[in-house]
Amino acid sequence: MKKRIVVVGNGMVGHKFIDNLVNHADADQYKVITFSEEPRLAYDRVQLSKYFSGSTAEDLALTNADYYNEKSVEFILKDKVIDLDFDNKEVITASGRREGYDKLILATGSFPFVPPIPGNNGEHCLVYRTIEDLEAITNSAKQSKVGVVVGGGLLGLEAAAALKAAGLETHVVEFAPRLMAVQLDEGGGKLLRRKIEAIGVKVHTQKATNEIVAGTELRYRMNFADGSHLETDMILFSAGIRPQDELARKCGIQLGERGGIVVDNNCQTNIDNVYAIGECALWNNRIYGLVAPGYQMAKVAVSHITGGSDQFMGADMSTKLKLLGVDVASIGDAHGTTPGSLSYTYSNDVDEVYKRMIVSADNKKLLGAVLVGDVEAYGTLQQMCVNGMDLPEDPNCLILPNVEGGSGMAIGVDALPEAAMICSCYDVSKGAICCSVQNGARTMGDIKALTKASTGCGGCTALTKQVMDSELKKLGVEVSNHICEHFPHSRQELADIVRIKQIKTFDELLDGHGHGLGCDICKPAVGSILAAFWNEYVLDKKHIGLQDTNDIFLGNMQKDGTYSIVPRVAGGEITPDKLIVLGQVAKQYKLYTKITGGQRIDLFGAQLHQLPAIWKVLVEAGFETGHAYGKSLRTVKSCVGSTWCRYGVLDSVGMAITLENRYKGVRAPHKIKFGVSGCTRECAEAQSKDFGVIATETGWSLYVCGNGGMRPRHADLFATGLDDVTLIKYIDRVMMFYIRTGDRLQRTSVWLENMEGGLDYLKKVVIDDKLSICAELEAQMAYNISQYQCEWKTTVENDELQKRFKHFINTDATDSNLAYVVEREQIRPATALERNNTNIQFVELVD
């Protein structure tokens, strides 16, 4: 009989436990039942703030009913476990349900601590922990102008960011003398405060709130112990967490003096067969309020139940994060409390950077560090600290900027032990990364897909890449990025050569930088590069031999050699007259007609010789080519937006049309899709596009590098609160940077995943102009746009250019191999079986 495993609580850690167990080799020996008092299954609380920038509860979900059903996990929502019967080994829920267990896992998590201040229970006094809390905050914010966060810790500042994003005048009230008192020292806290105040959040430290009473101008008035006061419309309490140990307390499980369920190194409580993991567990008199240690506990509990030997031995509490746009990191003994410890401090008020390292009394080991404003050294310092590695001869170089071997200096990854934890979000060790390289991983994309390393907070991206590169080198794998045998260069290098040497033809490039005749890899790639920079007519005799299957006849070749035709319908907006023209053309030429995913109309089955005649009609009716055949901008999908929609915030159709007309015809390493949504309901599904634009009350939000298709990827939020001009400026820059640096046939999603430094680096390049190339990128884009032509208009206006559009050069006959039958009132190619069936009537083709 299967052992019954009951998990109380389906938060991040409870789910992690279940996920580990059901994927264990012996999973079939266990039956898992989980209870949650919340109305939904586990979701990502770490990313909770994304809820305010458009993520939905679904986006945040870590699992779903289908997955649990597939794994035979029984889950009971909205039914709280209120009692435990250890004698009969049963749990009892609020609804009276009893469920037997062989092993019981308490993963009840924590709850937000609300200081016992009189008046703390008002309607607009809220906390920040669950999706329901966020919904309440959103509602309250709509009826408020000013918001106060009580608590200047990590979560408090995240809550403040949420209020700021909701457009409220935001205050942070902190009892301690500085922000993030747990993680930061005085210098770090001071700089963080300065930076946060600079973006308009008001910070009040050393304030003890005595009472909350009705305000005179605003809803509430907070009276502080020092006699001062502050008026506000809403109050968010974020003054730390407390372990949710109520159930354990009631049932007599041993607790710590200040709460928390006491566990040993196996995560077992003092009651047989009962474990506690996550924020409700107290190990070595300590609660771990981060998710990574919780995940470790989940792993340990699974190991113990399944006969393994993993032990929980404490966890590294180092953190690196971005709060209100400020980079902050804290490592190990950040306060220098180790007796005899010494410190190195670098403080730069001009660039707003603060770094401090705590080292051992003998100056040999790193004990801790605080970084604010520049956290590039985090990976190196954290590994050095956790693995007890020796400091370099001159430790200064670890935090000093712009000196030889300065903060960018990475520790030799070879010095790291195999067990070194590289990605703490997903518990990926150096050994695991090396192992996946040995098994064939060659790119960061591979590593992410195989190990999940650096797909969480992304803090370990640089380090992961170093480990991968070093392992590749050891394996003697020469990572050749040459585009093909004809050029000893990557696509990016070829793009640089073309741009800098002003090369205008493939032959010129091959003569100077390649050999052989070229091939179907390098020719289209170079054709795309030439088009991206000089944007000449792609069917010019100089370029025609470079064009791939679809480009060479400006249509999409189908399986029988005929083409489909997709005119541009910018933003998906089309007049009835134009719709009629499409219908008439399709009818006249008997074309199969289908609506595309990109809000356009696709006409299939056009023969080569028919293309110019069809396009002549379309061009006369005002249509332009849709570039459905090109590695270029495809469509800008939009929702109807504020013009019609009751919920629309901005004119998404207008913006979509502007963007589509701006970037139409721009050639890139691969196709590019856009989406523009008029509000955060996101009906245009912009977050699955290369460029997603979403309207908010404060302006446009820009998302970049999303993808649908085979490997879906949600786009990353790049910038918020943008006006039209800034939005277009950023898109110009990102797109041209992609055109310059992308690999052949690399979509923006993979491009970003393989970019060293990732999203932060891209932001630095595009927003902060770190490489001083933004003016050039914009100029390049402006030139490209100025050279735009509708390739079909050019073609139908020139008889000479149309000559090629014939199946045979020596006769007007057509391809006798084509055969169509009727299905659902339209044509489709006949199958092989149908072709051999003499009884079948084929559709008579139009000349």
What residues line the site for another protein (CB under 8 A)? 485-486, 507, 516-520, 522-524, 541, 544-549, 552-553, 557, 559-561, 804, 807-811, 813, 815, 817, 832
Strands 169-173 and 353-359: unpaired
State the nearest-atom distance from the C-beta of 607 to another protein, in Å.
11
> Smallest distance, Å, CB 557 to another protein?
6
CB of 788 to another protein, least distance (A): 24
Q: How far is the CB of 845 from another protein (least distance, A)?
A: 14
Calpha distance 737→705 (Å, rounded): 12
**Nearest to another protein of 631, 673 (CB atom):** 631
- Shortest gap between Cβ of 514 and another protein (angstroms)? 11
Q: How far is the CB of 36 from another protein (least distance, A)?
A: 50
Q: Which residues of 42-64 are buried (b: 16+ CB within 10 A; e: fewer)?
A: bbbbbebbbbbbbbeeeebbbbe
DSSP 601-663: EEEEEE-GGGHHHHHHHHHHTT--B--TTSSBEEEEEE--GGGT-SS--S-HHHHHHHHHHHH
Two tokens at 779?
Answer: 């100029």
Tokens of 372: 């604010």
CB neighbour list of residue 519: distance below 8 Å, 6 or more residues apart? 484, 485, 486
**Pick from 359, 361, 349: which is nearest to 381 by CA?**
359
Between 487 and 623, CB nearer to another protein: 487
Least gap, CB of 753 to another protein (angstroms) = 26
Residue 769 CA to residue 760 CA, distance in Å, equals 12
Q: SS3 for 792-838, per residue?
A: HHHHHCCHHHHCCCCCCCCCCCCCCCCCEEEECCEEEECCHHHHCCC
Strand (E) positions, 151-228?
169-173, 202-204, 209-214, 220-224
Q: State the DSSP string of 699-729.
A: EEEEEES-B-SSS-BPPEEEEEEE-HHHHHH
CB of 608 to another protein, least distance (A): 8
Name the residue nearer to another protein (CB basis): 392 or 545: 545
Q: Give whichever of 360 and 558 is closer to another protein, judged by the CB atom.
A: 558
CA-to-CA distance for 137 and 465, rounded, in angstroms? 39
CB of 617 to another protein, least distance (A): 24
DSSP label of 456:
S
To the nearest whole angstrom, how small is the minimum distance from the Cβ of residue 802 to another protein? 14
Nearest-approach distance from CB 277 to another protein, in angstroms: 52
Q: Which is nearer to another protein, 772 or 810 (CB)?
A: 810
* Residue 87 to residue 358: CA distance in whole angstroms: 51
Helix 291-305 crosses helix 12-22 at what angle (to 10 degrees)?
Answer: 40
What is the end-to-end Cα distance of the chain in Å, rounded?
73
State which residue, 429 or 610, has the beta carbon closest to another protein.
610
CA distance 188 to 345: 10
Residue nearer to another protein on the CB measure, 280 or 830: 830
**Quick one: 178 or 523, whose CB is closer to another protein?**
523
Cβ distance to another protein smaller for residue 423 or 483: 483
C-beta closer to another protein: residue 270 or 549: 549
Contact 456, 445 (CB under 8 A): no
The nearest distance, CB 373 to another protein, in angstroms, is 50
Helix (H, G, I), strand (E, B) or coil at 347: strand
Nearer to another protein, 17 or 629 (CB): 629
Least distance in Å: CB of 843 to another protein?
A: 17
Residue 150, SS3?
strand
Least gap, CB of 479 to another protein (angstroms): 22
Question: Residue 795: what are its φ and ψ, rounded to 5°?
Answer: -70, -45
> CA Rg, the chain, in Å?
31
Residue placing its CB nearer to another protein in the complex, 452 or 542 = 542
Kindly tell me which of 513 and 807 has the beta carbon lying closer to another protein. Answer: 807
Give which of 770, 831, 826 is closest to 595, Cα–Cα: 826
- How many Å apart are CA 362 and CA 357, to the nearest integer? 14
- A 10 A CB-CB count for 428 gives 24
Residue 816 beta carbon to another protein: minimum distance, rounded to whole angstroms:
9
In the bound state with another protein, the residue whose beta carbon lies nearer, of 256 and 829, is: 829
429 strand-pairing partners: 421
Contact 24, 299 (CB under 8 A): no
Question: Beta strand 110-112 with 202-204: parallel, antiparallel or unpaired?
Answer: unpaired
Which is closer to another protein, CB of 555 or CB of 626? Answer: 555
Residues 6+ away with beta carbon under 8 Å from 584? 617
